[in-house]
Structure 1
């Protein structure tokens, strides 16, 4: 058992034992001996009073003699001359107490006066069996017996509280020990550990903590798998241009007369590698949250128009057209450079996959939920429905994508930029053919 178990155990056990002792002691202190005899005293006096009223003094004498042989409160019947009907000694203290009880509000019938048929009025009152009895036995009054506290109830309460304190401490400390073991496993690289099956049907903060732990480990596993995949893809992407560089260098050495062609090939591959490294650095900064300030006022009309104008030069080479439908006013808050790159990546991707004579349509509109929607559609072959989400993953290439169509980082960068601006981006195939990518950005995004 760990330290937390013992802390829980000792704390709850002491709390329960203190409660048991406090409640038991209070009940004991508030239950003096005379109060515990209140019910039998009242019954005895009521029986004696009825006997005296309807049977007379002789019947009462017989009843009191019979009662004296039982371990019950003794009832005294005292006339006007303070003489007991059985001739028992009656002290002044007993008479004073009887009159006080009779005059009190909580008498409950334990002292009363009854007029008998012989012309005498008797004061009937009861005392516990601690006073002189006819059989000669003497017993101490209950409040003089030196009563001990209720040891057995306190001991039983302590044992029960000990059991439940141990159970409660185990209930709280077990999931924490499990969580500690899970953290140790994760620190050793075992990311497949999960706590939800171990927690079972618990529905409390500790089970919520276990589910949060599972979410964290799952996310870490995804990030590490993504990191391994990215490293694999980067090595693959770099291997091809490096191989072409080595081939161009070898060709330049073997055929000096073709040195110019080799230099052009080397330069092209160097630019390709530089572009790849630049995109990788951008993607890495975006995933690490290093995006700078997002509080600039950005005019999306101007930004998209500039992107469309640049895309027209690239589209002219492939014989396709770029058209834009802008808004009168489209102001958002964010990072103008990052938004420009995101929209440019989407538009260039559409131009790249548009056939000769095709159209790349850029449309802007404002939605009712205070977002600005930018749709970029082309007339290419589109993507399989299963790949509509995967195209935003780094280095992903659809089966319909040519091997020379870039590194597969443009849409991944665009997605991370849009998400950083609290927007959304998704792709769907156009019913008439081609791919349509939609970007939604909130208006007036706070800094």
Structure 2
């Protein structure tokens, strides 16, 4: 399960938003409601208690405020409140009310304290009202009731049925949003992958193109871009083919003229030798350009090929052309059967990719420079071939340009910069990839990965 998926981001966004609303509701609205409830409860109790105390005072009872406690335990016989007036915490427990009498302050009309004990800390946030009796008007002060802890209320709500309901609601909302947003995005992503893998003629589903929202606009823009890229690639391919064919005719005439000059001037003439060398170089350039152009005409996904056998054949060619070159083949998982090394696709493409990479190494390293070719299975249905030389490597800032057509890192060497671009195109046509990196203590390492059976 990947938490960076869009579905989980939507789920967490919905759930955290709901949780934030709950917290704000409990802390703000719940606090206000609790304070109002406590104030109403204290007002009712205080009114009943004050009336009883004033009646007794008027009947001749005398109270000594200095002898009273902060919370007197005298039960004045306050009648119970109406049903459902208070919450469950104020209901009788074992036949007795679960609260102590309120520490009231009662002043007569002259401002003298006739009941209670003053305590500024206790009565800082107080409720004030007046009661009119036969002997005059009394002013009553009562503290606000205690408000329950917001954290406790919040914890109680988080572990309640409401939280489970919100969690399920967030999951359903995330699924709906994923169905509306993520599903078409994934379908469009599959089309992008097909286009990247070389299927430039793929068609986007009409359902995606017909959408009236932003996803539909994105699909239509991608369809236009894909058509433009396909036209550009076709134009580039036609250009390679046309230029190559147009160069064949003058090249043939140059070779004929060089042959005539050789008959008249002799084989040792410097001008004749120069003309022959330039004709050979031009012929190789035309062959490479045609090879690059023809890659897109090869049926890439049909057939199979033996990766190890093709590597061994390439090593035999190297041993013949450069006998002093040490080339070592390393096969991981030697106990695996031959079926593990069967690649999917046209074997000619893999041969082009492998041959051009090895040829590039032979061209840019010393004749006695060691080359290692390692074959492994990195994961199911994939074969990886790593070709590493023990040369000087290449500058890090040029690694990304090695596979560009006509790019040459060393301008003094022979070649036209098409070998690695042909290798890259061949690997991509097979549904694989190719990359280059410098290896510490060795030289340049080129990795080719292709699909297997």
Report which of the two structures shows the higher radius of gyration computed on alpha carbons: 1
Quickly name the TM-score band, shorter chain normalised: 0.3 to 0.5
TM-score (norm 1): 0.44
Q: TM-score, normalised by structure 2?
A: 0.44
